[in-house]
A and B are shown apart, each in its own frame.
Chain A
């Protein structure tokens, strides 16, 4: 059966070129990169090359990049360490209502530690309001953390302006760029970013790899204590292969960003326009323009997301949904609720995230199948039956 993978926001396939670069560090140049003998030279050089490549993708200096075990660790580190480092100034943090749980759950942890968190609301497209941000700033605000792009609905936030407001008020600015890193242009200087989280597996690198960019001069301490790796700020024997993979993926992403974004955007817009025009009672979630090139997120009324996913799965199409059943909680996605969707509509969400490997044929095939699936589920839905009979009666 033909397999169509449309869940690239969840994770990506490791790129061939990345895999090729990684492999020697398992069995040939496997020395601990921190060792001083000559055998470790190649590994330590490879780590430093990767650091430079990872930095170049966001206009940072290599010595501002700290490798971690993924986006979640980077988010935890940034928030908890910044809170600790600046709590003599205050205990107030500003973030948004649509952050990833790596941020939101860290914030609720901090709330239990006596910090106060303001969760900025978003508009119907998922954007925060700069005016509301300005109003939320207080003398005791120590950190603003707003994601570069949302993982569910793909909306890109006005990062540069947020950073500007932060800096005008002498507040540290962190951004979770896990979905944006390597996908859209980011420049930490131009965008006033002090800390940035990224993850390797969202751009064709290996899972369990990530980084935290920490601007020179930002005084946050170590989160993982132990050895002196990463200039005493992140202990643990370096994951040479993983770091090399992340570096290579960053290098490729930088070289191919423009062409890939153009390609994916074209496919994405084709997908969106076909779905909205051919499937009744559907809507696009997220900003139509300021959105990740590879993200399409829809709601289909009268049906539930998990049913859709299972039916797609049986046809070899892999997608994701913000419905409660798929999130393991009783509520649908906090992001869909934050953009103002009622529960029953949020349940019927479907996220399709593309890659440069996705073809027009994949998209057309998916839409064709989706039409049948949605019709089948609606024919089974009492909500749809009521809606139709009310329409007839009206």
Chain B
């Protein structure tokens, strides 16, 4: 059901991890829906994305779209990163099954959320970037069993 590219990015995801003191961090999705993506950006003084990492909870497509999204924004400047759409992520992965399209949307949102965080921290405004929806409400409840 998945393309070879998706399988490749799922089984060998690029840029998994965290960045300490990242320039911007964005988390989108919620556990209740079954997908959470968190993207870390390291942006230099010229506004170039020097490094990017991600952590994702979700299905194969969620991991693969996160991985591809990080690849697509790496080395780009902030404006270019903003132009990485869910369609671009999907195309780069040779497509997604229809029920998984929302994963690519989440990847786009995760980048936007990280850029928003960066802009907030820097006290700047990024042309064309809107405040991302905040629905990371449902972190796993602390239950012992």
Contacts and interface: CB of A to CB of B under 8 A. Distances in A.
Interface stretch (A165-173, A237-245, A340-348): A340-348
Contacts of A381: 36, 55-57
A380 B36 contact: no
A302 B32 contact: no
A323 B59 contact: yes
Contact of B13 (A283, A380, A384, A387): A380
A324 B32 CA distance: 11
A302 B143 CA distance: 12
B138 interface: yes
Nearest to B138: A344
Contacts of B140: 301-302, 342, 344-345, 383, 386-387
B139 A383 contact: yes
Contact of B34 (A302, A324, A384, A387): A324
Contacts of B55: 380-382, 385
Interface size on A, as a range, is 20 to 34
**Binding site secondary structure of chain A:** helix
B32 A382 contact: no
A332 B38 contact: no
Contact of A307 (B10, B16, B32, B139): B10
A306 interface: yes
B127 interface: no
Contact of A343 (B16, B32, B99): B32
Contacts of B145: 283
Contact of A382 (B2, B56, B60): B56
Complex A-B, nearest 5 residue pairs according to Cβ-Cβ distance, in ascending order: A344-B31, A306-B59, A325-B59, A382-B55, A382-B38
Given A311-B11, A323-B59, A382-B27, 15 more contacts: A302-B57, A304-B34, A304-B57, A314-B11, A328-B99, A342-B141, A342-B143, A343-B33, A344-B32, A344-B138, A344-B140, A347-B31, A380-B55, A383-B36, A383-B139
Interface of B: 2, 7, 10-11, 13, 16, 18, 27, 31-38, 55-60, 62-63, 99, 138-141, 143, 145
